[in-house]
A and B are shown apart, each in its own frame.
Chain A
Amino acid sequence: MTLQSKAPRSRLDPEPMARRDWLGLSSLWTMGAALMFGVVGMLRLPKAAVLASPSKKFKVALPETLPAGEAFVPPGRAVAVYRDAEGIFAVSTICTHLGCVVKANAEGFECPCHGSRFHADGTVSRGPAPRALPWLKVQVSGGVVMVDEGTTVPSGTKVA
């Protein structure tokens, strides 16, 4: 028939694609695409939808005798709480470099991990920390201070 009329071909000299090859190939690619989308969809698995993290708000009672400019660090928290004439404020003590907990000292804060230093208001005095330590939201009611580690406020915000 028609096929025989063509010159014989070798494997090194392929025919133009036949119709059924086209159909076969396109179904193969369809399967490949479906598999790919399925797998990519499943790759969402490691990204948790709900984060089980403890509450970021906590209450703290400041010692009556806390001198102005001296940090009070509630046990187990990475926050320094201060009280001065203008009011109460809280500075996060999580280093903005790579997350170590900074320690309050006479000038402000120092980080043990890569040597960042901060002034008492949280601004960087020595690298590598790229940003100032954030100030945290504070509410005061009846002598009890409520700090919200999850909400930052502009630095300088003090609550009377």
Chain B
Amino acid sequence: MNPASTQNNALREFVDNLKSAPRRMYETAFRGGAPTTDRSRSTFVFGNVFLHLHAVRTHRWSLKWTTTVGLGIMSLSAFLITLVTGVLLMFYYKPSPEAAYASIKDIHFVVPTGRLIRNLHRWAANLMVVAVILHMARAFYTGAYRPPREYNWLIGIGLLVTTLGLSFTGYLLPWDQLAYWAITIGANIAQSPREVTDALGITEYFDPGGLQRLLLLGSDTVGAEALIRFYLLHVMILPLALAALMGVHFWRIRKDGGMVRPADADERLSKMKQGETYPVFTEAPNKTYQLAAVVRGKTAVVGRGPENTVPSMPHLFYAELGVMMLTLLACVALSMVSDAPLKELANPSVPENPAKAPWYFLGLQEMVSFSAFMGGIGIPAIVLAGLALIPYLDREKEGTGEWFGGPGGWRLVKLSMLIGFGAPLAIESFAIRFGWLREWFPKIPQLIVTAINPATILTAVYALYSIWCIRRYGSARSGALGLFTCFLCGFLLLTIIGTYFRGPNWVFYWSPSEWPKH
């Protein structure tokens, strides 16, 4: 062959390749082609690293908006917003007591778009707390904690605790008055087991409270060491823990067969309009049972096609995208109308008055104002243990996947709401009007106050009520329904009291306009 023409050919080929490079790049990135057929829609899901945690097809029950209310995805979206805005804030934030406050001020007033980013971070964090709590309530009221989802319920509790931890550690970083006194109170709550060990006279030998405080603060005073620890928790340890837990959470959802649904979901759905579902296996499925025989536990359904499902692309993904966009929209809108707070620079000799924790801890602060140990550690531990035990105590099957467990459930929930709001209202009114043991008997031993105070009495009332429910309705599910509803109502009521009705010196006021001016 003639060397000149070979050279020409090679050159032409090179030019052709160059021309088609953009198209080829596109094709190698989006291999499956446009998701228009069942097959290409499937590839779209399992060919994509971010999407393949989803099943290729989604049951129609999961897509009813009343099944999830989108709250899980809302929590995730809020987390993603905090992640992005948080990384941006790290460009300027300096975790040292001398510089932290000024750097937040810079972000707020000087850095381009800094205020928006900071507001978004705050609002998304608050929204995340709300969404996670509501999502837990949704999972509870639809019976989603029952087998096989018990383990995912536990992971969920881990997510709840980590979310609250993230919010709290973030609250401390601006090093303003709110932050400083919140750290002080938080660290002393960690130390509050001393309330018990002191009363028993064993603090000298056994002092878990002191150790916890020391580990949190890294020093015996609130200062630079404490700030860097909270910073480390906030930007590394807790986000990583949260991400890991989320990975497990999503994986388990998939492995547990998607969203919980009633046993007769298929029959009920067939009464609804059919839409896009059609038999997926047009012939009788021909799977063999050999593999199923050696694998223990639940295996893929054999002998039945994935009926009543629709392709996840677009049905599920568009729904998820919609929730994400709504979340982002809500955060942006809130950030435009309301700025994240920043009080005066931390002043270690004069507390903010009233020194209030972030809103979701004001219920705790209300309980802490009766006993540090019980309100800050004892009762939260009891509540968490109670939440973790729910799936193991309620082993019933009826009503799974059904809001409030089906007929009769909503009535029980309404009755429980009556108790749930009534009991704390009565106990709080009494304590606010007449005071408590320490005022009547100044010399009373602290252990008695620790054991008997409005917060512990409230817990006991709730527990007794739920035992009554179990006996009255002859089902553990009723007890769980009663207890969970009560705790939710109690949390809400105490939070409202702490937020709106407590003023300077934690004194009860009907409205903030009555607070004395200094």
Enumerate chain A interface residues (CB-CB to B < 8 A): 46-48, 51-54, 75-78, 97-101, 110-115, 123-128, 130-131
Q: Are A47 and B349 in contact (CB under 8 A)?
A: no
B181 interfacial contact with A, CB 8 Å: yes
Select the stretch in B26-34, B247-255, B304-312, B352-360 that faces chain A. B352-360
- In the complex, chain B residues whose CB is within 8 Å of the CB of A46: 215, 218, 229
Known interface pairs A98-B189, A112-B504, A113-B355. Does A130 touch B215 (Cβ–Cβ under 8 Å)? no
Q: When chains A and B are docked, how far (Å) is the Cα of A35 from the Cα of B364?
A: 39
- In the complex, chain B residues whose CB is within 8 Å of the CB of A76: 348-349
B192 interfacial contact with A, CB 8 Å: yes
Q: When chains A and B are docked, how far (Å) is the Cα of A65 from the Cα of B370?
A: 40
Q: Are A114 and B369 in contact (CB under 8 A)?
A: yes
11 further interface pairs, Cβ-Cβ under 8 Å (given A98-B368, A111-B505)? A48-B219, A77-B349, A98-B185, A99-B187, A101-B349, A112-B504, A112-B506, A115-B506, A125-B439, A126-B435, A130-B198
Q: List 17 A-B contacts (CB under 8 A).
A: A47-B211, A47-B215, A53-B223, A98-B185, A98-B188, A98-B189, A98-B368, A99-B187, A100-B181, A112-B353, A112-B354, A114-B368, A114-B369, A125-B442, A128-B370, A130-B446, A131-B446
- In the complex, chain A residues whose CB is within 8 Å of the CB of B442: 123-125
Q: Are B351 and A128 in contact (CB under 8 A)?
A: no
- In the assembled complex, the CB of B458 is this many whole angstroms from the nearest CB of chain A, namely 15
Q: Are A98 and B192 in contact (CB under 8 A)?
A: yes
B436 interfacial contact with A, CB 8 Å: yes
Query: Please, which residue of chain B has its CB at the minimum distance from the CB of A48?
Result: B218
Among B214, B223, B368, B507, the residue within 8 A (CB) of A128 is B368
Give the interface SS of chain A, mostly helix, strand, loop or mixed. Answer: loop
Q: Are A130 and B449 in contact (CB under 8 A)?
A: yes
B488 interfacial contact with A, CB 8 Å: no
- In the complex, chain B residues whose CB is within 8 Å of the CB of A112: 351-355, 504-506
Q: When chains A and B are docked, how far (Å) is the Cα of A114 from the Cα of B371?
A: 10
B220 interfacial contact with A, CB 8 Å: yes
B136 interfacial contact with A, CB 8 Å: no
Known interface pairs A46-B218, A47-B214, A126-B435. Does A110 touch B349 (Cβ–Cβ under 8 Å)? no
Known interface pairs A53-B220, A130-B195, A130-B446. Does A115 touch B369 (Cβ–Cβ under 8 Å)? yes
Q: Are A113 and B181 in contact (CB under 8 A)?
A: yes
Q: Are B184 and A100 in contact (CB under 8 A)?
A: yes
Q: When chains A and B are docked, how far (Å) is the Cα of A123 from the Cα of B438?
A: 11
Quick one: which of B336-369 are within 8 Å of A by CB?
348-355, 365, 368-369
Quick one: which of B30-84 are within 8 Å of A by CB?
none
Q: Are B198 and A131 in contact (CB under 8 A)?
A: yes
- In the assembled complex, the CB of B422 is this many whole angstroms from the nearest CB of chain A, namely 24
Q: When chains A and B are docked, how far (Å) is the Cα of A160 from the Cα of B437?
A: 37
- In the assembled complex, the CB of B234 is this many whole angstroms from the nearest CB of chain A, namely 16
Q: Are A127 and B439 in contact (CB under 8 A)?
A: yes
Nearest 7 pairs between A and B by C-beta? A127-B438, A112-B353, A114-B369, A115-B506, A98-B188, A99-B188, A130-B446
B277 interfacial contact with A, CB 8 Å: no
B225 interfacial contact with A, CB 8 Å: yes
Q: Which of A54, A75, A76, A100 counts the most chain B CB atoms within 10 A? A: A100
Q: Which of A47, A100, A113, A114 counts the most chain B CB atoms within 10 A? A: A113
B20 interfacial contact with A, CB 8 Å: no
Query: Please, which residue of chain B has its CB at the minimum distance from the CB of A114?
Result: B369
Q: When chains A and B are docked, how far (Å) is the Cα of A113 from the Cα of B184?
A: 11
Known interface pairs A46-B215, A114-B368. Does A100 touch B438 (Cβ–Cβ under 8 Å)? no
